Structure 1
Amino acid sequence: MAKLAFLGLGVMGYPMAGHLQAAGHDVCVYNRTASKAEKWAAQHGGRHAPSPREAAEGAEFVLACVGNDDDLRSVCLGGDGAFAGMDDGAIFVDHTTVSSKVTAELYAGARAAGQQFVDAPVSGGQAGAENGQLSIMCGGDQAAYDAAEPIMNTYAKLCRRIGESGAGQMTKMCNQIAIAGLVQGLSEALHFAEKAGLDGRAVVEVISQGAAGSWQMNNRYETMLDDKWEHGFAVDWMRKDLGICLSTADETGASLPVTALVDQFYKDVQAMGGGRWDTSSLFARLRKLG
């Protein structure tokens, strides 16, 4: 069992840290809103600290799942940042979905300080975090990944190193690009079924067993038809991720016309007041259009 720090107790980080404590690790948590860290410690029996640096002191692994590039920098850098508290050789594992730019910056910073850094964004949403069934895509030095993999497996159904530093974040971009197109396609199929006077549930029962089947179809079609949008990853966060994808595509020369279009559809959902709805709310946009 290891001594760990976990930074960020949002809808993903809160249960992920809980799995680590339940597995017998010694976990100290930090959250920007201290009351949530206190609540976690009371619920799970672990410890909490008032700063990332204090949480990271003496930890073999420091794991983070925060909001964006700036949030990640704030918990890593500066006098109260985790890097200032980490021992030589300690490993920082970043589960946040961020740009490859900040990953390169923090990987270099950790190495310069005698520490190690693994980018390890996750997919599977809140349900995956709560059930310990996340897919984790990693980049970084092989030795650092090998040491961190058993820790991550506590809440993973699949954990894999894709390549060197940044490869995990690039893979997460592929994930979000694929999801954007899938959810829009599913939304259009359900919209078409409604307009054609078909029973959407009966339609999905049939087509889900063929080539059209997907995780999104199996897990979201019923809530979509019922106008329920409180299940999983929020539109605001998806737009943040797609912005990273589109910016990186400009840098690499990749062409992402469908992703760019779906990003604008999510902008429409935000204008409808659906920034905190889950990503399947693309269907709500089509219903509003008639």
Structure 2
Amino acid sequence: MTSIAERTYESTPARKVAFIGLGVMGYPMAGHLARAGHSVTVYNRSSAKAATWVAEFGGAHKPTPREAAQGADIVFACVGNDDDLRAITLGADGAFAGMSSGAIFVDHTTASADVARELYRAAKTLGLSFVDAPVSGGQAGAVNGQLTVMCGGDSAAFDAVKPVAFAFSRAFTLMGESGAGQLTKMVNQICIAGLVQGLSEAIAFGQKAGLDMNQVLDVIGKGAAQSWQLDNRGKTMVADKFDFGFAVDWMRKDLGLVLDEAKRNGARLPVTALVDQFYADVQAMGGNRFDTSSLIKRLK
């Protein structure tokens, strides 16, 4: 069975691309690029995972980011954090060392705005372009090729990447200069943190009140309380199911980036800081890999 959903791809000229990082997001994203007709070379820290990807989608895998990036028009990446991103871009085996002048590096990692600006400058000195392009939509969005991508960088590089990136996205938008994509993703995570906590409290309250919460969610989902979280996570929260989606560990990493940025820009985030600590409680309960909707477990 394929690891990506069947879909129709827009017709775009085939490009030579690389994809670095074949985790739960990168694996299907790279797969959509291959299915869309692009020539894809991959790199992953676990070469066995890279070999599995090639067996499923074709293309090639290389032992270093530098070798994977050689000859690519566009190098996509989706790794864990700032340090991982520096490790795959900089140094003798980094992607930048293998990229040709004029090539574009597109980073889908949720990372800091600072590292985005740092790598934008480093790329520019080498005659390369760098676009920070974090995504929203989770694993399901990656598998279905329906991610929302928020970008920061130069408009020329963005315009060159956009038609290729539509292989795995439904929206691909330039938000501003370097770092703006990461800052937009932080706004996204602030919204999600508050929404999930509110939904958790609402469901726990309704259950204590003896209501049929599946029926309640059907009703209020047709009104002003409707949200993606309610539609996609409400009933699984009622059923106490959390073995899917975006993990608590990842959300804490993202909220750490948000709170660090808020210290720099002076934004006040009292609810976000509180929900971050609630997620720490879930981690202490052994819920590191639970979906973010597991906030409700604190209330039961």
Where on the TM-score scale, by shorter chain, does this alignment land: which range?
A: over 0.9
Q: How does 1:206-245 map to 2 (within 5 A)?
A: 206-245=219-258
Q: How does 1:29-44 map to 2 (within 5 A)?
A: 29-44=42-57
The one of 98, 107, 111 aligned to 2:120: 107
- 8 Å CA contact 2:151–2:181 kept in 1: the answer is yes
The one of 269, 286, 290 aligned to 2:299: 286
Work out whether 1:118 is the aligned partner of 2:145. no
- 8 Å CA contact 2:217–2:235 kept in 1: the answer is no
Aligned residue for 2:3?
none
2-structure distance, mates of 1:101, 1:119: 11
Work out whether 1:277 is the aligned partner of 2:265. no
Superposition misfits of 4+ residues, deviation over 2 angstroms:
none
Give the CA deviation at 1:112. 0.6
Could you report, residue by residue, the CA deviation over 1:10-44 in whole angstroms, capped at 9, with x for unpaired residues?
Answer: 00000000000001100000001110000000011
Could you report, residue by residue, the CA deviation over 1:203-260 in whole angstroms, capped at 9, with x for unpaired residues?
Answer: 1111111110000000011111111111211000000000000000010000100000
Give the structure-1-normalised TM-score.
0.98
Could you report, residue by residue, the CA deviation over 1:183-219 in whole angstroms, capped at 9, with x for unpaired residues?
Answer: 0000000000011011110111111111100000000
What amino acid does structure 1 have at the position aligned with 2:281? D
1-structure distance, mates of 2:38, 2:174: 23
Give the structure-2-normalised TM-score.
0.95
| Contiguous gaps of at least 5 residues in structure 1 | none
- 8 Å CA contact 2:19–2:30 kept in 1: the answer is yes
What amino acid does structure 2 have at the position aligned with 1:41? V
Instruction: State the number of aligned residues.
Output: 287
1-structure distance, mates of 2:206, 2:84: 42
Aligned residue for 2:41?
28
The one of 92, 110, 113 aligned to 2:105: 92
2-structure distance, mates of 1:241, 1:157: 22
Match of 1:36, SS? helix
Q: Give the CA RMSD over aligned residues.
A: 0.5
2-structure distance, mates of 1:136, 1:23: 18
Give the CA deviation at 1:285. 1.4
Q: How does 1:1-290 map to 2 (within 5 A)?
A: 1-287=14-300
- 8 Å CA contact 2:152–2:174 kept in 1: the answer is yes
What amino acid does structure 2 have at the position aligned with 1:18? G
| Contiguous gaps of at least 5 residues in structure 2 | 1-13
